Structure 1
C-alpha cells in the first residue's frame, strides 16, 4: 500500500485521497464493480474493503452497517430517480443529477471512513472483500481475481 494514500496515525486514507484512489480503480473496471451493485451490494463498501485488504487491515462488516444504512437511505432513492428520469431529461439536466449522485457517493465514502476511525480495523491480513462478495453470492463473479 503506497504511503500517499495513508493518512496520519490511523492508517486510513483521507476521504479525498480515497475518493481519487477508488475513482481510478472503479474507472478501470466499472462494469465489474457494478456487478457488486447488481448483486445487492454496495460499490463504495466493496472498494473500501478491497483497500483494507491491500493495507492488510481487517474489519468486522457489521461495524460498517449503520454508516452504510444511513447513507444508502439518501443515495439509493436518488440513484433510482436519476435512472428513471434519464429518458425525460436533456443532457445538462441529466449531468447535473449525475454530479449530485457522485457528491452523495463521495459523502458515503467519507461516512464509511469516519465509521472506521471510530472503530479502527485490526492490523492483520483480512479477507474483507472476499467475505463481502461471499455474503452477496458474488465470489465467483468478475472481481474474483482481486480476492485470490
Structure 2
C-alpha cells in the first residue's frame, strides 16, 4: 500500500480546507488560466508533506486529468454556468452537487495517476505546476509563499 492509498481521504479533506482558505485565487486561476483546481490543491498539499514532483510529472498529471475532464467535467461545468439564469435555486444547487461529484471522480483519477509516479522533484510543487500555464511565483505570491 502506498503513502497515498493510506491518506487519500485525508488528502482531499485537507485540500478542501486549503480551497476554503484560497477559493477566490483558485477560481481565478481556473477561469483565467485553465488551471486544474484539484491539481493546484494537490501541489499545495504535497509541499506541506515535503514530497516533490518534477515538472514532467506535473505535465503527466495535467494531461491525464485533462483527458477525462475535457470529456465530462468541463462540458458539464459550462452547461451549469449557462443554465444558472434559467434555473430555480434548488435546481441550480442540484447541478452544483453533480459537479462536486464529478470533481470527486477527478480526485480519484488524480490519485490513481499519482500512485503510478515515483518522487523525482526537488522544488516547489506550486511553482512547477503553475509554470505549465506560464505563471510564475510573482503572479500569485500569496499562494506560493504560504506553501513553500
TM-score by length of 2: 0.82
User: Is 1:53–2:53 an aligned residue pair?
Assistant: no
What are the Cα deviations for residues 88-144 of structure 1, in whole angstroms up to 9, with x where unaligned?
00011100000010011111111101111122334x643211012123233322523
The one of 70, 84, 87 equivalent to 2:85 is: 87
**Structure 1 residues 14, 147: closer, same or farther in 2, change over 3 A?**
closer
Q: CA RMSD in A?
A: 2.0
Q: Once structures 1 and 2 are overlaid, which stretch shifts more, 138-147 or 28-37?
A: 138-147
Partner residue, 1:128? 125
1:67 CA drift (Å): 2.5
Partner residue, 1:22? 15
Count of residues in Structure 1 that have an aligned counterpart in Structure 2: 139
Q: Which runs of no fewer than 5 residues in structure 1 stay unpaired?
A: 1-8
Q: Which runs of no fewer than 5 residues in structure 2 stay unpaired?
A: none
User: Is 1:77–2:105 an aligned residue pair?
Assistant: no
Partner residue, 1:3? none
SS in 1 for 2:132: helix
User: 2:118 and 2:50 mapped to 1: Cα distance?
Assistant: 13
